Structure 1
Amino acid sequence: MSSTTGPSGAIQTAEIEDSSLLAFYRDMKLPERRTFWACAAGWALDGMDFMIYPLVIGTIITMWKVDAGTAGLAGTVTLLASAVGGWLGGYLADRIGRVKTLQLTILWFSVFSLVCAFVQNFDQLLIARALLGLGFGGEWAAGAVLMGESIRPQYRGRAVGSVQSGWAVGWGLAVLSQAVLFSYLPAETAWRWMFAVGALPALLVFFLRRYVEEPEIAAATLAKQNASGERPGLAEIFKGPILKTTILASLAVTGCQGGYYAITFWVPRFLTTERKLSVVSSTGYLSALIIGSFVGYLVGAWLADKIGRRKLFLYFSLGAIAVIIAYTQLPLTNEILWVLGFPLGFFASAYFSGVGAFLTELYPTRLRGSGQGFCYNFGRGIGALFPFLVGALSTTTSLANAIAIFAVAAYGLFFLAAFALPETRGRILHADT
């Protein structure tokens, strides 16, 4: 097991007391459970908001006569903006607190999801998605740190990973909305209602304001900073020994995000074009992918504490490479492709369960929001290029080939960067570091 240093410089770790998946939840007190459900709901609604656009991209292409590369640009811009939003959101979380930042960012991306429902051309949609991305990135940064600091170290991987599974729930909600709305409304109207549904996360802010408290460790650190006047600098994560950590962690997240987005952004389009499925009939295939993703998040959360963050990343990056090659390159029937959707979602999602806890444990408390927010969202920002690049390459080769090329390259980078980083399982966090 890995270790960390406390206030006195002593190395401190926490042993895994109960290795079962739900041990963390059984031991939670009421405030901790409220924090857990608030963060899980936030991440689910965050996922729903992002996944709405890949689901309506075919309608956008047809309605506004844009090519696949241009359409993919809106997804790329959203993720690039989220990189900036994540860094700034994390920095804000270090300055004003995790809970306040979470409230602000949820309101922000909810408002701009609603704006997307009223745009009149692709350029307006591009701008609205970019502004949505700022809040989208900041929400993850604040929520992941909030959860990481609220949970005891021996349960941190399972708790943060279980919150991560909310993304699959949000994805499922987006697909369900698509199935319902596109069944009863014409496509030209249904896509607008999809974005309107994406404004629902704003309701979560009322729960956050009433029931969720700032973690003690963050509150103590913030109080100390207020008393001394020594505030963390925005660029401090790029100085001294922290710089190496920031570079390697950013590369690792770039790989895992790039692979994930290369797959999930374009698979709906792959099913309706190269596999000749209708929007509604593709729902079953996406459901298999989403169920696999949900199970992957839960299994990954358990493995993050059982075998460690690093092994989780190494094993599942190789697994993802193998499955995506089979899914896109083998001459499979649609029935087999439907079955293969489960392992595709499983391997493309499980490793995310370890990322939040891993980044939390890499940084000291005073820089945790900035460091975690930057690394995760830098990776998301560079990974954002993959939807655009896949779309652009698909104009000269098949969409299946384009997805495979960029997904394999991304997961290869993830494997190498994870191999170079230390194991952090069990690290004890301190308020004065």
Structure 2
Amino acid sequence: MDTVGGQGAAAESGAVEIRDASLTAFYKSMTGPERHTFWACTAGWCLDGMDFMIYPLVIGTIISLWKVDPGTAGLAATVTLLASALGGWIAGFVADRIGRVLTLQITILWFSFFSLLCAFVQNFEQLLVARAILGLGFGGEWAAGAVLIGETIRAEYRGRAVGSVQSGWAVGWGLAVLSQAILFSLLPPESAWRWMFAVGALPALLVFYLRRHVKEPEVAARTRAAAVAAGDRPKIWEIFSGPILGTTLLASLAAAGCQGGYYAITTWVPRFLTTERHLSIVSSTGYLAALIVGSFTGYLVGAWLADRLGRRPLFLIFSVGAIAVIVAYTQLPLSNGILWVLGFPLGFFASGYFSGMGAFLTELYPTRLRGSGQGFCYNFGRGVGALFPALVGYLSERVGLASAIALFAAVAYGMFFLAAFALPETRGRVLHADT
């Protein structure tokens, strides 16, 4: 059975030394099944990121076409994330009962279908409902995929492998921005935004690859078989009992802080550039490109640091860096040229810490509860973080958009710093089957 570690964490016994600390060491030593799982999860997270980032990119068009105020427009992002919190918890629990791979397939088909449905809505109320239902699959995809890759990769490479998968989000973000630049150049805004949502249905194609090439992790399959044989299936409330409760509370707080800051920035920076910096949608593409390149670099560096320094040092360094850069980006009287340069460190610090989150949450829980624990904590963070886009939108009407972004981002990253400081280090922890 899995043992319980410090700070109330349900830790897997044993740890391994990180022998080769280079970023690409994990990939060079992968087996065929590991590589299939790696690329499937990377593609899934890439397309997940593309799908989610479509709405922030068309939010200005929605505001103009349907005459909604910024707070109400931000509400659509909020309800998507709130629904994803519930979807992630449910998917994590389901993954512990029916398997990681099957759950991943179901969630991808779910959010792909409802992204396509968003292209056909006739008013903001219909869009709000469609985005909320889409959120169930959006949250579930991360819960199933993060556990799948975390259990497939060996302990000494887990931080870099899972972190590199996380970098797929920046690629997806880039694809969304590229789609925006192309579609809004070729089509009028009244129809371009609909085609953006139609592009968000592409992740459905990934299911064919999953069915053919990706297998269930052995550690999860053995644990689930043993639980069925013993009649001891995991219960959805089990992560809130005994010594595991403390881990669940702190990990949920950390996830809320890191995601609240990220969503406050990424939901509203495109709008900040077009309103307060007076850039057109197409001309703002270069500024978003700097942010995305910084984000992608941050994911890769964060993946390397997660194994090199540990999960907690990564979180502490990047949370402080994110606060410093977002305050400078929004509050200092900078020229547009300097703002473009500052986009790189903003993307770097506001994204790179995510590279450690998947591996960290995987290592905090025993195998029989890993999907439930990881799915709940990360997606509880999404639920709380979901409030930030709407709150930024409402507050912006009183203090201005730049100040609202800076305030909520600083509060969120401060919360992330404190929670990460209180949690244990898990680098190199070996995962075992509950038998």
Q: Report the TM-score when normalising by structure 2.
A: 0.97
Which runs of structure 2 are paired with 1:26-425 in the superposition (5 Å)?
26-425=28-427
Indicate the percent of aligned positions where both proteins have the same amino acid. 79
- Supply the distance in 2 between the matched residues of 1:287 and 1:392 (Cα, whole angstroms): 27
2:181–2:285: 8 Å Cα contact kept in structure 1?
yes
Distance (whole Å) between structure 1 residues aligned to residue 159 and residue 399 of structure 2: 40
Local SS of the residue matching 2:398: coil
Superposed CA deviations along residues 263-318 of structure 1, whole A, max 9, x for unmatched, are 01100000000000000000000000000000000000000000000000001100
| Residues 4, 427 of structure 1: 8 Å contact kept | no
Q: Which deviations, in whole Å up to 9, do the C-alpha atoms of 1:305-339 show, x marking residues without a partner? A: 00000000001100000000100000000000000
CA distance in 2, matches of 1:221, 1:119: 44
Q: Is the 8 A contact 2:4 2:243 kept in 1?
A: no
Give yes or no for contact 2:319–2:417 (8 Å, CA) kept in 1: yes
- Counterpart CA distance in 1 for 2:318 and 2:301 is 11
1:408–1:234 Cα change, 3 Å: same
SS at match of 1:139: helix
* 3-state SS of 1:396 partner: helix
CA 4–19 in structure 1, closer or farther in 2 if over 3 Å, else same: farther
Shift of 1:10: 9.6
Alpha-carbon distance between aligned partners in 2 of 1:420 and 1:293, rounded to the nearest angstrom: 26
Deviation by residue 1:105-159 (Cα, 9 ceiling, x = unmatched): 0000000000000000001000000010000000000000000000000100000
Shift of 1:397: 1.2
1:359-390, Cα deviation, whole Å (9 max, x unpaired) = 00000000000000000000011000000000
Cα gap change, 1:118 to 1:260, in 2 (>3 Å): same
Q: Secondary structure at the match of 2:399?
A: coil
Equivalence for 1:427: 429
Give, as a single letter, the amino acid of the residue that structure 2 aligns with 1:349: S
Matched residue type, 2:363: E
| 1:211 Cα offset (Å) | 0.4
- Are the structure 2 counterparts of residues 10 and 368 from structure 1 closer, same or farther at C-alpha, using a change threshold of 3 Å? closer
Against the structure 1 CA distance between its residues 111 and 272, is the aligned structure 2 distance closer, same or farther, given a 3 Å change threshold?
same
Distance 1:105 1:10 in 2: 28
Structure 2 counterpart of 1:17: 19
Give the Cα–Cα distance (whole angstroms) in 2 for the partners of residues 231 and 274 of structure 1: 54
Deviation of 1:432 after TM superposition, in Å, equals: 1.0
Q: 1:136 & 1:11 partners in 2: Cα distance?
A: 32
Q: Deviations over 1:24-79 (max 9, x none)?
A: 00000111100000000000000000000000000000000000000000000000
Runs of 4+ in 1 over 2 A off after TM superposition: none
Q: Are 1:38 and 1:204, in contact at CA under 8 Å, matched by a contact in 2?
A: yes
Amino acid at match of 2:163: G
TM-superposed deviation, 1:11: 4.5
CA contact (8 A) 2:12 2:432 kept: no
Structure 1: gaps of 5 or more residues: none
Tell me if structure 2 keeps the 8 A contact 1:181–1:193: yes
Distance in 1 (CA, whole Å) between partners of 2:122 and 2:136 is 22
Distance 1:31 1:417 in 2: 35
Separation in structure 2 between the aligned mates of residue 268 and residue 414 of structure 1, nearest angstrom: 24
- Could you tell me which amino acid in structure 2 is paired with residue 310 of structure 1? R
Please, what TM-score do these two structures have when normalized by structure 1? 0.98
Q: State the alpha-carbon separation in 2 of the partners of residues 332 and 77 from structure 1.
A: 34
* CA positional deviation for 1:347: 0.3
The alignment covers a number of residue pairs equal to 428
Distance 2:298 2:408 in 1: 22
Where structure 2 has 5 or more consecutive residues not aligned to the other structure, the ranges are 6-10
Q: What's the secondary structure of 1:279's corresponding residue? A: coil
On the 8 A contact 1:4/1:12 being kept in 2, the answer is no
Contact 2:13 2:430 survives alignment (8 Å): no
Matched-pair contact (CA < 8 Å) for 2:265–2:405: yes
Per the alignment, residue 8 of structure 2 pairs with none
Q: Is the partner of 1:213 in helix, strand or coil? A: coil
Q: Secondary structure at the match of 1:47?
A: helix
RMSD: 1.1
